[in-house]
Structure 1
């Protein structure tokens, strides 16, 4: 549906570090950065699909990044919390969204709600939530 997404951030350097850290388990890397913006894309591909640009803070947004498995969602959350970023929802099933919807949430330095999610296959019981 989308070719790329861009959001404005106030704390560009802090947000660049946040996304560079927490998107790594999702196979997303920093492709380029300058004093005004940074672009991210899939490892092994040239395309930039997610951009952050220096700007004024508006209402925080919610971005959900697809993960390949529950373990990847867990890694996204763990690496973010370990790096000192704020948890906004521990990894676990979110059956109120869908019976197999497994997700975790972090807040970026500007307060945006950043989610990693995986759809568990119907045969799987989903990991225990700590």
Structure 2
């Protein structure tokens, strides 16, 4: 079952936008839509947004007890590395350097970074199998 889109809540749209603009650029993903005076941003490609961030305030802005994990599919190991480097440079925290993850699948190559809100953001490449 394909997923159409995912949305996460953030407490600071400016810092989250800076992080995701940088981290997702190597994957060819950019802002495709903006609503609520820039407080809700949709990232995607030609088909439109498939990943959203939305600023919330008050009780909704309290840190999440269970951070979200989102994985973006990359086209190569080099894209995974570029995502990781850009995300770290944009203030992300390492949660798993680029490398194979054979415990998931034999052809899984990924990198994990915590975003400014503590969410686990990943880029993954599925290498062709022989």
Smaller-chain TM-score bracket? 0.7 to 0.9
User: Match of 2:43?
Assistant: 40
Moved more, 80-89 or 22-31: 80-89
User: Match of 1:23?
Assistant: 24
Give yes or no for contact 2:91–2:116 (8 Å, CA) kept in 1. no
Count of residues paired in the alignment:
121
User: How large is the Cα RMSD of the aligned pairs?
Assistant: 1.4
Normalising by structure 2, report the TM-score: 0.85
Q: Distance in 2 between matches of 1:105 and 1:88?
A: 5
Identify unmatched segments of 5+ residues in structure 1: 124-130
Identify unmatched segments of 5+ residues in structure 2: none
1:53-92 equivalences under 5 Å are 53-55=54-56, 56=61, 57-58=63-64, 59-92=66-99
Normalising by structure 1, report the TM-score: 0.85
Give yes or no for contact 2:18–2:90 (8 Å, CA) kept in 1. no
String of CA shifts for 1:24-60, please: whole Å, max 9, x gaps.
1111001244342111111xx1512111111223221
Structure in which a larger fraction of residues adopt helix: 2
Segments of 4+ in structure 1 off by > 6 A?
none
